[in-house]
Structure 1
Amino acid sequence: MFWRKKRLPYELQRPFQLDTKLRDMSFTIFDTETTGFSIASHDRLIEIGAVQVEGFYVTDRTFQTFVNPDRDIPEHITKLTSISQREVEGAPSSLEAIQAYFQFVEENQSGGWIGHHVSFDEMVLKNELQREKLTYDPPSSFDTMDLINYLNPTWDQQDLENYSNVFGTRTFERHRALGDALTTAHLFVEVLRCLEERGVTTLADLLRLRNGKAQQSIALF
């Protein structure tokens, strides 16, 4: 018998018109921390952080939760993130944490998700929900690295802090979900201002830019 995953009932994207000015939109910038990079097998989610951007400004509306990974956090991850086993032992389960994050997104009527290496963070959520035999309707997402590469294709660095230094934006606590989300948010709004100078002013423009980058990636294989 064919079995289907149950879909979580969250509205994670407000239906903005394609001609909506980016200055009139809202986005959710988010980040995750995990026990490692093998998220499809044994590594698990340990923190989610997010902040809301309205127009070209970072708001004070933030979200942060630790997540109980039901496994030990490797020592090198604790050194990198400063997240200890004791901090996550009484934390919500991955499903409870993701549901709380989805509620934050829904309440803020987000026009999409923004992240630095955003596909990794999306995959973290997807794999955690798959373990619970659940799925969700993902919103549009945009990667700051793709947007920056459009502005200057010769840049090959990928580190978030390096880009923040290049664009002169604020850097918050690194390798923590909320800190990296805030760092990405301030970088994102500065990138939006630069894109506006290049004629990227509407949601349709941003989608064309993103889809063009996706086609370039496909062409490489």
Structure 2
Amino acid sequence: MKEPMKGNGGFWDTIKNGGGSPRLASMLGAPSAQQIAFVRSLTKGQRRPESLSVPLTELKTAVFDLETTGFHYHYGDEILSFGAVKVEGEKISQEVYYSLARPACTIPERIIDLTGITQEMVQDAPELLEALRGFMSFVDDRVLIAHGSAHDKAFLDVALWKTTKAHLGHRVLDTMMIARKLDPERGKSGLDDWLAIYEIPVTQRHHALEDSKMTAELWIVLIRQLRDRGVITLGDLYAYLSKN
């Protein structure tokens, strides 16, 4: 099993190494009730209005992806892995997060074939709350970005509610929606399509961290195209996406 990567010098490492408040530091090894409270605290107050005036070239984001046991959380599908990479404006950081999560259900063969994640790989993986805590600590208060974000956002929100009775409070941008808005004539939606269109090298598909990295590359391309359309700030982007 691959060990979770918690990043370098970020919020998570600061607390683990004894920085920050003693209360937060103690939560890392605390009973479940305190872990829940810690994760819930990370879902609040993430939609500050002042962030709307931040230029996209300076916006602190976290591009993420999830692998799941299927596509229907209503029928018991669960998160299998978390991946995320921090992006500072137009610069992709070396700080990344990756963790498997142990599901309660059996992984279907089609998902094993798609992701390469087997039942043996997750049997000693962190429980959902622990992996979710690491992920939420890593993304902190950044704007979240995903490709086809409805799927990932829904599973993340369900996981938060299931473990902590909290909802995701972060802003979430969708590279699929932005790419289609910029170039509606192509009629494309899949990540593979847009990677090919913009000649972004494909490393490993259907791996949460690698998909996050490639989506981050796509996000950088989109920032530059948006700038050419006069879309400068996060607020401009929301206004642009809302136009018919």
TM range (shorter): 0.7 to 0.9
Aligned residue for 1:208, secondary structure, equals helix
**Other-structure match for 2:15:** none
Equivalent of 1:177 in 182, 198, 208: 208
Length-normalised TM-score, structure 1: 0.86
Task: Give the 3-state SS of the residue equivalent to 1:121 in structure 2.
Answer: helix
1:26-175 mapped onto 2 (5 Å cutoff): 26-106=60-140, 109-110=141-142, 112-132=143-163, 134-175=165-206
Contact between 2:156 and 2:168, CA under 8 Å: does it hold in 1?
Answer: no
- Structure (1 or 2) with the greater helix fraction: 2
In 1, the alpha carbon distance for the partners of 2:161 and 2:55 equals 36
Query: Any stretches of 5+ residues in structure 2 without a counterpart?
Result: 1-35
Displacement after TM superposition at 1:124 (Å) = 0.5
2:40 aligned residue: 8
In structure 1, how many angstroms separate the alpha carbons of the residues matched to 2:92 and 2:150? 22
Q: Is the 8 A contact 1:58 1:185 kept in 2?
A: yes
Report the counterpart of residue 203 of structure 1 in structure 2. 234
Q: How many residues align?
A: 206
Structure with greater contact order relative to length (CA < 8 Å, sep ≥ 6): 1
1:137-163 alpha-carbon deviations (Å, 9 max, x no partner):
421111111111121112222220220
Tell me the distance in 2 between the aligned counterparts of 1:9 and 1:105. 13
For the residues of structure 2 that align with 1:33 and 1:159, how far apart are their CA atoms?
15
Q: Calculate percent identity across the aligned residue pairs.
A: 31
Tell me how far apart the structure 1 counterparts of residues 189 and 72 of structure 2 sit (CA, whole Å): 20
2:8 corresponds to:
none
| TM-score computed with the length of structure 2 as normaliser | 0.79
* Match for residue 189 of structure 1 among 210, 220, 225: 220
Unpaired stretches in structure 1, ≥5 consecutive residues: 217-221
| Structure 1 Cα separation of the partners of residues 114 and 97 of structure 2 | 21
